[in-house]
Amino acid sequence: MPQTSPILRARILTPRGLAVIAAVLAILLLTLTPSGNRPPLPFSYEIGGERRWLADGILNLCLFVPLGLAVGWESRSPWPAALCGFLLSTAVELAQTMVPGRDPALSDIIFNSLGATVGAVIARHPRTWYAPGERASRILTAASILTAALVMTGTAVLLSPSESSCTAARAGADLRLECTSRADQFGLDQPEYWLRDAFNAKAEVPSLSVRRDRAKWRVIRGTETIATLGPTVGQGWALLAYPNEIGRRWSPLLNGAWLAALLLPIGFWSRRTTRLIALTACVALLALIPVVTGIAFSGPVEWLGAVMGFALGAGLSSSTVMTRRQSRTLEKRPGGKSC
């Protein structure tokens, strides 16, 4: 039985090698698992033909970013990582022609290769991102706040209704609200909105009406508004990730997790001198964007997710700074040397 050479085994068992293996295994698991009972489809050369083509493209791009990070870590050029992403994506898409429920397409290869390239570009100078200096941290903090503002505002604009009416239907004791948003025009997805136990089971004909209020809807029973349905700044994930399949049960948690992911970089890159300003900016975004755009206000879960994301980023930042100081102290001691 052939044995792996010690040199090859040593390269594979490095943190970088293990990261590459983990990224490849995750990609294979997510892309080659059967999805539904549809028969395998032939390879498609069409780009941008499906209804949610841009949403699928962004997801495919993000899927290969970790592979680009692992392959291109501190590399001189991003092209080896881009080539690895292209070859792996091509193999996956060809294999999908035999997997039920999958949609092999040229557009997936393009976005996958782009994602690996983006990851490799980020990984060329990693210290710029995870251990920036004082001036760089201010620039990154400002950039991350601007990015969060653009994502939240874009979410509000794209999920705002593009038509004056919507479809309200009863689903057991729940109310389901479906409206066409601007996202549908750009190849992105859009969620349905649910109100649990909206109908009074004791009444034979519950009196409910839905009235539009700017970019949201008020659910009215008689003359009383019992709930407000509509997009929030935390629903950016719903533009991408099949919201009607996973969102009904997990939507509040996903909203909170999305805001946590948006605000984590802000907390990480801010320093003690700028952290209060950064936190104030985040609170202002969450409070003012709904007022300006007319979408629904964030609920407690979204606010909690935002606070946890910012706090986690700040904690990781403090830990990184402390580790760097300890390393410098060790290097200054007699006989101390860096790795």
Please work out, in degrees rounded to the nearest 5, the angle formed at the alpha carbon of residue 57 by the alpha carbons of 48 and 21: 145
Whole-Å CA distances, 144 to 25, 112, 271: 30, 24, 13
Other beta carbons within 10 Å of 112:
28
pLDDT score of 1 more than 50: no
Residues 6+ apart with CB under 8 A from 99: 32, 33, 34, 35, 40
- Interatomic CA distance for residues 307 and 301, integer angstroms: 10
Whose CA is closest to 227, among 191, 177, 171?
177
pLDDT score of 209 more than 80: yes
276-289 tens-digit pLDDT = 999 999 999 999 99
Q: What is the pLDDT of residue 338?
A: 42
Determine what percent of the chain is predicted with pLDDT higher than 70.
88
144-159 tens-digit pLDDT = 999 999 999 999 999 9
97-147 tens-digit pLDDT = 999 989 999 999 999 999 999 999 999 988 888 888 889 999 999 999 999
Q: Which residue reads 């948690």 in tokens? A: 253
For residue 161, the 8-state DSSP code is: B
Q: Are 125 and 75 in contact (CB under 8 A)?
A: no
pTM of the model: 0.87
Q: Which residue reads 């009607």 in tokens? A: 244
Structure tokens at 128: 């710029």
Tell me if residue 221 falls in helix, strand or coil: strand
End-to-end Cα spacing for the chain:
37
Structure tokens at 56: 């699928």
Among 6-10, 98-102, 175-179, 211-215, the least confident range: 6-10
Q: Are 123 and 69 in contact (CB under 8 A)?
A: yes
Q: 318 falls in which pLDDT band (50, 70, 90)? A: confident
Tell me if residue 68 falls in helix, strand or coil: helix
Q: Are 65 and 116 in contact (CB under 8 A)?
A: yes
